[in-house]
Amino acid sequence: MSPRRNLRPVRQARKLATKLQEEDSAAVCCFCKKAKSSVVCDKLLSGKITVHFYCLLFSSGLQQRGDVRGPLMGFLEADVTSELRRGSKLRCVYCKKQGATVGCCIKLCKKAFHVDCGNANECLLQFYGDYRAYCPDHRPLQRTRPKESGSTSCLICTCDMVSEPSPQVLVTPCCQHCFHRACLQAQASSAGSYFFKCCICNNNDAFQQEMLDHGICIPERDASWEREQGAYQDLLYRYQKCDAERCRCPMGREASLEESGDWEVITCSTCGSQGIHKACGNLSRESLQRTNSWVCVQCRKTLSLRPDTEAVIPPSSPLKRKGAAESTSSEPPITKLKNLTPPTGSLPPLFVRASRKPALPTSPEK
């Protein structure tokens, strides 16, 4: 007779798998029955009811009447429950499932659909203002005509395309160039509302409004490269290395001693990415106090090409301490700049503002 096996670990594993499946099935939107939305920047709001934020915004019978800091971003739980009850009587024209609370904003149109289904079937969703939705038969068309006709290429992905406005091709209102909708949406998701602009002519206002009118979702936030953790960490460190052709410091190029005087590293006042020891550059304390600057060789060459730059090369001042190393640099160490000021400014504040949705007319019975 075979020995009896211990089935407890198997039963525990089955219970754990069942629990995980129940949790996964519970974390889906009550409207579209999906966990992940196809709309960029959408998020799943979890409270007593789990819903996608854009499923709430595009529902025809919902209003934001609560606090935007609440779990449902300004929507009341009673209103959402009532909208779910209304959606249970409506079927999506694409997937034929219930919960289609998004209706075409044309009153005579009876089409209803889910946000994901409409986004995948060339419906137009406007991500601003009243958050209007249009079916493919009633979506507004672009009036802007492209500069070039026939076959052209998208200037973002460089793939071939037909130079004609369509649900998949958009024309910029500023310079009349054609782009893929997916390419513009990817650019908007990365750049955010602060840096999303035409990549040809840098137009911002007219370009953004045209993209919003034709279904591009522009998140109101800073650019992705500005929000990376530690993106500006290098700016906290000051350059401390002597870049003279022959460094005479006995402690090496990376030694910078402010107390010793001669072996203190002075950085370039223009770029800040080059440095030199006082002794290696034949810089005395009097000359630094008089000009309050030292410009590296690379910056001297660049600034010499500018008409508003006046280079003044004073005679090299003797060092205080005897026996200090002479400079081996072929360029004079001191440069005076005329009418040249460093750029100033600060980064825009990083915030996400929740837009309040005005009252929308209830979708007609489908």
| Mean pLDDT rounded to a whole number for the chain | 79
Closest-CA residue to 326 (of 251, 265, 270, 245): 245
Closest-CA residue to 64 (of 80, 42, 41): 80
| 60-94 pLDDT tens trace | 999 889 888 888 989 999 999 999 999 999 999 99
Any idea which residue has 């019975």 for tokens?
A: 365
Whether 114 contacts 366, CB under 8 Å: no
Above 90 in pLDDT, residue 23?
Answer: no
CA angle 55, 60, 64 (to 5 degrees): 70
Could you give all domains of the chain from N- to C-terminal order, each with its CATH number? 44-138 (3.30.40.10), 146-230 (3.30.40), 238-304 (3.30.40.10)
Contacts of 78 (CB under 8 A, 6+ apart): none
Q: How confident is the model at residue 283 (pLDDT cuts 50, 70, 90)?
A: confident
| Cβ atoms within 10 Å of 29's Cβ, excluding its own | 25
The arithmetic mean of pLDDT across residues 312-336, rounded, is 38
Task: Read off the tokens for 170.
Answer: 């958009």
**DSSP symbols for 242-259:** ---SS---TT-TT---TT
Alpha carbons 187 and 196: distance in angstroms, whole number: 7
Helices 205-213, 181-195: crossing angle, 10 deg rounding: 130
Above 50 in pLDDT, residue 103?
Answer: yes
Above 50 in pLDDT, residue 313?
Answer: no
| 216-249 pLDDT tens trace | 999 998 899 888 887 777 777 788 899 998 898 8
Task: Read off the tokens for 272.
Answer: 């800040």
% of the chain residues with pLDDT over 70: 74
Residue 17's pLDDT is: 55
Higher-confidence position of 68 and 291: 68
Alpha carbons 254 and 4: distance in angstroms, whole number: 72
Which pTM does this prediction carry?
0.62
Residue 187's pLDDT is: 95
Task: State which amino acid sits at residue 201.
Answer: C
207-231 burial, b for 16+ CB within 10 Å, e for fewer? bbebbbbbbbbbbebbbeebeeeee
